[in-house]
Amino acid sequence: LKAAWWGLKSARPDALVVMPSLAAPPGPYAELLADNGMGRFTDAWNLHFYGWAHDFADVVAAHRRFLARRGWRRLPLWVTEYG
């Protein structure tokens, strides 16, 4: 992600770079991404949701809490797949 960020932003500073998607509530993988500074190298938090519709709001809320805890409250949350 860091290499893609620098390459794309050097050629097109206005390009949006979005992290690989997470298809589950934030857990160990999201923590590792965050610990490695991923928040500085993405323009949006990318989420895929596969589950029951009544669980969607809770999953989004979990991602928003994670972003807030990491100091990334202003990072947009994109749901790029739903099913």
Reported confidence tier of residue 83, pLDDT bands at 50, 70, 90? confident
Selection from 37, 36, 35, 33 nearest residue 47 by Cα: 33
Reported confidence tier of residue 15, pLDDT bands at 50, 70, 90? very high
| DSSP single-letter state for residue 75 | S
Decide if 49 contacts 79 (C-beta within 8 A): yes
| DSSP single-letter state for residue 42 | -
The length of the chain in residues reads 83
Decide if 39 contacts 63 (C-beta within 8 A): no
* Percent of residues, the chain, with pLDDT higher than 90: 95
Q: Which residues pair with 47 in a beta bridge?
A: 22, 79
